[in-house]
């Protein structure tokens, strides 16, 4: 895995909250060097003028970069990270791919296209094979690889090892999602203070379809979605970072809690084997304290802060073959920029970029 | 239903938050007149000195009452409302019943005793027949009637009509419960600010067993619990009043959403028929706006503020015969004092007290 | 004060939060009948479709009204209440006054014009004499009367009786202002959760200049501002309604705490004498409990909810002739719609409209 | 300053929140090695069993330590850090000093004793000379040195350079204090959610008297308090860490804002000169952005997280010679354990321990 040359990368939509998260993670990155950052209303400003939170976590040289206009004609780089809003992503990502550029996108625009990989590096790296399908079908020199919705990520990571070992028939999930998941300015304070909002636009549909695709199997040139009955309810709560998900699931085959504990705690993927820079030692951290995980206390857990999913409240449910647990996944790290950067690291290691 | 004489009542544990809620609801009540209020650390003080919130909702004459010691030997009244902590309730309620007094209790101590009615007036008024079983078995002149945990109430009310019409096989519930459910001082602010705590001590067990008892059928002298697979996850969130519950359920028989809407919106019980003072016109309010119910905005909905359960987000789930919805139940009104007062009103109207 | 005919009124900017507050207060009003409501992005919708909070406090007939475009050419009525944003108010209010209409405005656009009354009915009703100055100077048949910024109101009300009795040399105020003061969507939740923002745009300047004008004396055709050294620091905190203000002041003449208590508690104005519908019995409520007033608990205090200012923590300061106190003023009632409606009631009673 | 031997220290009251903060700061400390930790209800438990927050910031070896009973007879060490509640501190600290031990205490018990130094290392290190007065007067072999209340610290640090250069006549301060300032469990969530409490027991008195002592001058064997008129109002707000203070002050001599900026930004003390391990490079960080400092974003600012005071909103006030500013001081770091540890470091460097 020795490659001494860094890739030159562009971050599209760098002035939004998601974009700023990328820049934290790409600060002093061993594989990637940020050459361009783009935006819209903030074009011409320096990054440091638009950063909302945590400017101290972004490398000084990045803070001094000037935000350029998102223009497919003029900007060139080895790799494009896209943190664009979905409507802009629809046009721009395609134009870049057509022009031969490689795009890794956290936008939802292309996630569910049949020839576009939707990747969690520990869960379904084999889906990257769709890149060739995509290129052939669309006659593109470049390609688009996508990463999932922030709520999908934690769920798919926890379901994966259980699905592999015991099969899963049905899942019922109620989420309690952090404010940062809605971007900035996002949720008005008057709506959420001392309140819960039991609805997030289009979120339940995304989580369902994305999870089934990610857990699906690559058969020839298509992905056959996993055959699981998924039932999702999404809620916005007054937390800053970290989506909490209360999960009930029924397996195909009987299990013991001890077996579940073992397969969750030992779950590993290529990023751990390759020791990629953004790969946490433990993909899943089991926290057996009775009242954990908690968003404020645990959302930065793990050897790479915010990249592990924390699972607690593991217990057998009263229904047959069924399990209950609560998981916490950092929506701005693992659920957005961190997932995309880890995907890029894997592709870099595997010479796909 | 003409009874001109008011019953003289005592509120046990009046200085706590639950007790204060009783006193709001008993202010100028047409059936009941508060004669004694009891407490522990606040004995000798006037109620107005210990009231924490909303003193303006309690009748002036009650605010001037002096808190007495909770002594079974000395205090007499036609009816005792108990808002005692469960460990105190265990001894005191029994002593009162032995002495021939009638007790309606919101404490958990006796709820699951086989000969003690656990009552939601609209759901299982027929369980009041256990009073006679209890008296006979325990050789008491008095009796104990209990009301459920604040989280049970909303769930049982919504499940009842569905259970009656379609049968229910399985229920998965994730709650997002308000701070007031933990009493005062309750949850430390440092624990819950910008956070969710995915655990409430003993709550899941209570909600499961109580719901099955309430939906159970009286067969001779015992209640046969409902045969439903119940799976509950309880969470504390940063809201003031109103427990929000995200519910998935599978019925025995197929249903249409329209049928569910109809049976929920038209659900009625004896309190509505008898037009009891604390009975809301609608037991269940359907709110079809896409992002409702919300605790802060909806917890006082209905013709008797806080006594209706609000149901929203009604939708068919992806699993067979299954339904998803979100319900909101006011934990301090319907879930505590209001439920107990309504139970007393029903018993008064039916001459059981 | 017998006038049987109601005035027909228009609420400009009815779809915003401030406008909706007007409609609560004008529901079933004895003097005024709402004939038109206007808006911008919501034109053509019914009020009930755009109401954000508390729709149950607005009269059903008002909820059914259709929002019209804010057009000075077509809408006629006896009185216009303006809840317009300041930039729109600048043009529209002037055009209405030119056309002979009477405008009572809570917008900041004209507050500091030398010939425009800035009114708190209990504090400076004599400033309404500026109406004639305004008409003469501008050759308008109509006129504009304004009401102050939400933070000014509580401060000016509390300073007034002290200023009259003892004189005031210097005031230092630190505010802790509620989220509703910023309108809707207002403050992003990510900015304010578990936080305080020590800055509100232009607020300190407004509070200073407005307070001095209101406490100023009408000398001929101009108002001579009060000669007080005012020093204001404004902060946004995470409360819903009610601006809390921590006040230090130095009087000209010596005082005793008992004298201050008396003059605050007995402070009255024309609205109380005329028993106007929106006039609270007590303009200032003294709350001597050591930890009051509190925004969540006290912002609806008083005989007309939200119209009284609550004062607590009254104490002599260590500096000479100086006093400290904390006041709470409901920014959406007394500080916005309620203040404007009370002003209109006074003008109605005095036949100025 | 070369001393290779570490001092063995004991942390009294280690199981509380303040004590835990000490243990974070003493993890891998170059001068001090924790040998004993004491507590009360948690005696016999390991530290890791009682830690409430941030256990990952405490060294593993400390987490494994067993909490001992706070017994003056049996525990010996070179230095005692006291995080005891004030009532326990009163007896225990004196007993330790009598027995010849050196105590550095953050408890309030002895702060205002005339022969006890109350130290902020950058502000009044010369007050450590009181140690000899204390020993002589009380015939103790050991001594007690105290550090101030968390609200005093930020204020005294900011006043100090202004007081030295321009003199100060009068100060008016309104605080907005974080929940952690009240310890754990501290403020009940039901009291503070969507609220501000305008009162903190005994806080205003402490801040006044302590600030005047700290800014006072050592004259012979006594400290002559500074002659400043101090007027403090304390409020609890819903933030986690970081006390925000809105400050108005009048100097004796005229100043320009530029001068104030310079003296604040360049303020230094012995800890900076000696480059002590817990000394921040900048004692005061000037943040000129218009809406800073903010508790959530800035409370960990500086080269040693939480040890700098952040000052913003610097402006001339309308009164003569007067200045307004907002300061933020981390109450759990600089305002508690961090201040005590820095004091110990200074005493270690100066061979007072």
The residue extents of the domains of chain B are 7-149+337-349, 150-330
Rg (CA), chain B: 19
Q: Is D299 a catalytic residue?
A: no
Over residues B206-229, mean pLDDT: 97
Give me the half-sphere count of Cα atoms (radius 13 Å) on the Cβ side of residue A156. Answer: 30
Both tokens of C211, joined, read 């307070």
Mean pLDDT of chain C: 96
Interface test with C, best of B297, B300, B301, B304 (most C CBs within 10 A): B297
pLDDT at A194: 98
Q: How far apart are CA B236 and CA B176, in angstroms?
A: 6
Q: Which CATH superfamily is domain D7-149+337-349 in?
A: NAD(P)-binding Rossmann-like Domain (3.40.50.720)
Over residues C66-77, mean pLDDT: 92
Contact A324 B231 (CB under 8 A): yes
Both tokens of D242, joined, read 């970081």
Asked whether the CA dihedral A112, A114, A119, A124 is positive or negative, the reply is: positive
Nearest CA in chain C to B299: C54
Over residues B177-190, mean pLDDT: 96
Contact B238 D189 (CB under 8 A): yes
Which H or E element spans position A313? strand A309-316
The residues of A whose Cβ lies within 8 A of any Cβ of D are 53, 193-194, 297
C4: CB partners within 8 A, 6+ apart: none
Selecting from C52, C53, C179 the residue whose C-beta is nearest the C-beta of A189 gives C179
pLDDT at D311: 98
For the domain made up of B150-330, the CATH class stated in words is: alpha beta
Residue numbers in C near A187 (CB within 8 A): 188-190
How far is residue C186 from each of residues C50, C178, C236, D338, measured CA to CA in Å?
16, 11, 11, 37
Over residues B165-180, mean pLDDT: 98
Query: How many degrees, rounded to 5, is the angle at CA C334 between CA C333 and CA C338?
Result: 65
A:D CB pairs within 8 Å: 5
Selecting from B199, B322, B326 the residue whose C-beta is nearest the C-beta of A233 gives B326
Question: What is the Cα B269 distance to its own chain's centre?
Answer: 15
Residues of B designated catalytic: 150, 243
Selecting from B184, B194, B238 the residue whose C-beta is nearest the C-beta of D188 gives B184
Rg (CA), chain D: 19
pLDDT at B222: 95
**Alpha helices for chain C (secondary structure H):** 17-25, 47-50, 60-63, 86-98, 130-138, 150-166, 189-192, 203-214, 257-265, 270-273, 295-298, 338-349
Query: How many degrees, rounded to 5, is the angle at CA B150 between CA B147 and CA B154?
Result: 95
Residue numbers in C near D317 (CB within 8 A): 172, 229, 231
User: Any bridge partners for residue C162, and if so which?
Assistant: none
Residue numbers in B near C308 (CB within 8 A): none
Q: What are phi and psi of C248, to 5 degrees?
A: -115, 135
Q: What is the pLDDT of residues A235-271, one digit of tens each?
A: 999 999 999 999 999 999 999 999 999 999 999 999 9
Residue numbers in B near A170 (CB within 8 A): 319
**Alpha helices for chain B (secondary structure H):** 17-25, 47-50, 60-63, 86-98, 130-138, 150-166, 189-192, 203-214, 257-265, 270-273, 295-298, 338-349
Interface test with D, best of C176, C179, C195, C313 (most D CBs within 10 A): C195
The residues of D whose Cβ lies within 8 A of any Cβ of C are 170, 172, 174, 176, 193-199, 208, 229-231, 233, 235, 237-240, 244, 246, 248, 290-297, 312-313, 317-320, 322, 324, 326
Q: What is the pLDDT of residues D281-298, one digit of tens each?
A: 999 999 999 999 999 999
Could you check whether the bond before residue D293 is cis, i.e. omega within 30 degrees of 0?
yes
Residue numbers in C near B297 (CB within 8 A): 53
Q: Is D243 a catalytic residue?
A: yes
pTM of the model: 0.96
Nearest CA in chain A to C183: A190
Report the phi/psi class of residue D313: left, alpha or beta, with left for phi > 0 and alpha for psi in -120 to 50.
left
Of D255, D294, D247, D178, nearest to C248 by C-alpha is D247
Over residues B69-82, mean pLDDT: 93
Query: How many degrees, rounded to 5, is the angle at CA D348 between CA D344 and CA D349?
Result: 120
A:C CB pairs within 8 Å: 55
The residues of C whose Cβ lies within 8 A of any Cβ of D are 170, 172, 174, 176, 193-199, 208, 229-231, 233, 235, 237-240, 244, 246, 248, 290-297, 312-313, 317-320, 322, 324, 326
b/e sequence A236-259, b meaning 16+ C-beta within 10 Å: bbbbbbbbbbbbbbbbeeebeeee
The residues of C whose Cβ lies within 8 A of any Cβ of A are 52-53, 179-180, 184-194, 238, 240
Contact C53 B193 (CB under 8 A): no
Q: How far apart are CA C10 and CA C340, in angstroms?
A: 13
**DSSP-assigned letter for residue D225:** P
D11: CB partners within 8 A, 6+ apart: D19, D22, D23, D26, D34, D36, D37, D38, D80, D81, D83
DSSP one-letter string for A269-301: -HHHHTT-TT--S-SEEE--STT---HHHHTT-
DSSP one-letter string for C83-110: ---HHHHHHHHHHHHHTT-EEEE-SSTT
CA end-to-end span of chain B: 13
What confidence category does residue A3 fall into, taking pLDDT thresholds of 50, 70 and 90? low
| Structural contact between residues B140 and B98, judged by C-beta atoms closer than 8 angstroms | yes
**DSSP-assigned letter for residue B18:** H
pLDDT by residue for chain D (353 residues), tens digit each? 456 689 999 999 998 888 999 999 999 999 999 999 999 989 999 999 998 888 888 999 999 999 999 988 889 999 999 999 999 999 999 999 999 999 999 999 999 999 999 999 999 999 999 999 999 999 999 999 999 999 999 999 999 999 999 999 999 999 999 999 999 999 999 999 999 999 999 999 999 999 999 999 999 999 999 999 999 999 999 999 999 999 999 999 999 999 999 999 999 999 999 999 999 999 999 999 999 999 999 999 999 999 999 999 999 998 889 999 999 999 999 999 999 999 999 999 999 99
Selecting from D53, D193, D297 the residue whose C-beta is nearest the C-beta of A53 gives D297
Instruction: Show which subunits contact C, needing at least 3 CB pairs below 8 angstroms.
Output: A, B, D
Q: What ipTM does this complex have?
A: 0.95
How far is residue C2 from each of residues C5, C27, C30, C32, C79, measured CA to CA in Å?
9, 20, 11, 14, 19
Task: Give yes or no on whether B7-149+337-349 and B150-330 have one common fold.
Answer: no
Residue numbers in B near C194 (CB within 8 A): 193-194
Q: How far apart are CA C24 and CA C57, in angstroms?
A: 6
Selecting from A195, A199, A291 the residue whose C-beta is nearest the C-beta of B199 gives A291
pLDDT at A201: 97
Q: How far apart are CA A283 and CA A308, in angstroms?
A: 5
Both tokens of C349, joined, read 């009673």
Selecting from C53, C189, C191 the residue whose C-beta is nearest the C-beta of A192 gives C189
Q: How far apart are CA D192 and CA B141, in angstroms?
A: 46
- Among D36, D127, D243, D299, which one carries the catalytic annotation? D243
Nearest CA in chain B to D192: B189
| Structural contact between residues B203 and B149, judged by C-beta atoms closer than 8 angstroms | yes
Selecting from C198, C240, C320 the residue whose C-beta is nearest the C-beta of D244 gives C198
Residues of A designated catalytic: 150, 243
Residue numbers in C near D211 (CB within 8 A): none
């Amino acid at each position: 895995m020795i490659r001494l040359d860094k890739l030159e990368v562009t971050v599209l939509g760098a002035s939004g909250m998601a974009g700023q998260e990328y820049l934290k993670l790409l600060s002093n990155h061993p594989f990637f060097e940020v050459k361009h950052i783009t935006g819209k209303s903030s074009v011409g400003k320096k990054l440091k003028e638009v950063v909302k939170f945590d400017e101290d976590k972004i490398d000084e040289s990045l803070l001094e970069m000037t935000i350029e206009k998102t223009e497919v004609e003029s900007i060139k780089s080895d790799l494009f990270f896209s943190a664009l809003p979905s409507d802009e992503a629809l046009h721009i990502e395609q134009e870049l791919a057509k022009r031969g550029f490689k795009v890794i996108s956290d936008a939802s625009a292309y996630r569910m296209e049949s020839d576009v990989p939707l990747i969690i590096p520990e869960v379904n790296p084999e889906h990257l094979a769709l890149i060739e399908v995509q290129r052939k079908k669309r006659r593109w020199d470049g390609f688009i690889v996508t990463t999932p919705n922030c709520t999908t990520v934690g769920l798919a990571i926890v379901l994966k090892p259980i699905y592999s070992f015991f099969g899963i028939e049905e899942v019922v999930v109620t989420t309690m999602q952090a404010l940062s998941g809605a971007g900035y300015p996002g949720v008005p304070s008057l709506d959420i203070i001392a309140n819960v909002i039991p609805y997030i636009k289009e979120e339940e549909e995304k989580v369902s379809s994305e999870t089934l695709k990610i857990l699906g199997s690559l058969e020839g040139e298509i992905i056959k979605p996993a055959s699981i009955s998924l039932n999702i309810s999404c809620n916005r709560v007054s937390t800053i970072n970290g989506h909490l998900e209360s999960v009930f699931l029924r397996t195909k085959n009987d299990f013991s809690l001890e077996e579940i504990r073992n397969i969750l705690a030992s779950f590993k993927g290529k990023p751990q084997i390759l020791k990629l820079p953004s790969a946490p030692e433990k993909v899943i951290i089991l926290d057996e304290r009775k009242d954990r995980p908690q968003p404020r206390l645990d959302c930065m857990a793990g050897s790479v802060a915010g990249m592990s999913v924390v699972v607690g409240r593991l217990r057998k449910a009263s229904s047959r073959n069924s399990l209950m647990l609560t998981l916490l996944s950092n929506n701005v790290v693992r659920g957005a920029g961190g997932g995309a950067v880890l995907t890029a690291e894997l592709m870099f290691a595997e010479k796909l970029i």
